[in-house]
Amino acid sequence: MWDYLQNLSFWDWLGLGTVLLILEVFGAGGYLLWIGVAAAGVGILTYVIPAMSWEVQFLLFAVLSVLTALYWWRRQRSVLRQSDQPGLNMRGSELIGRTFAVHDAIVGGRGKIKVGDGVWMVVGPDTPVGNQVRVIAQDGAILKVEAV
């Protein structure tokens, strides 16, 4: 085993990187991608500097794995923050501030409004059918309204 470690070649690192990238294709969710890239990077460095000891190779592999994973994590966070559609997947948030007619009377603080071709449950002051209400907040699938 020690003889093998002391004679690691760039082919070993490129092979490890290839295996990790192939495993990533089967659905690791991005975890093995950056470790595979780090292994390929160590393979390239080992090709350029063939006298590198195995300890340095493993240290480089660890450092490159962490650096590539942190780079991707930061990049993904910045991309998610800069969405051009901040209300995406928040169905009721685009309704806040808009007014709608009451579909089923709000009695005892609960009722329904019609929005497009759908009906939403609402909570708010008692209001008869047909009167206008303004959506002021969302709590899950229930909208909070006030009389207009």
Neighbours of 70 (CB within 10 A): 11
The domains found in the chain, sorted by start residue, are 2-81 (no CATH), 93-147 (2.40.50.140)
Please give the model's pTM, rounded to 2 decimal places.
0.52
CB 52 within 8 A of CB 43: no
27-65 per-position pLDDT tens digit = 777 778 889 999 999 999 999 998 888 899 999 999 999
Per-residue confidence (pLDDT) for residue 133, from 0 to 100: 96
Ranges of the chain with pLDDT below 70: 1-2, 4-5, 79-89
CA distances from residue 79 to 35, 71, 86 in whole angstroms, order as listed: 22, 12, 12
Q: What is the pLDDT of residue 5?
A: 64
pLDDT computed for residue 128 by the predictor: 94
Q: Which of 74, 81, 44 is nearest to 60 (CA)?
A: 44
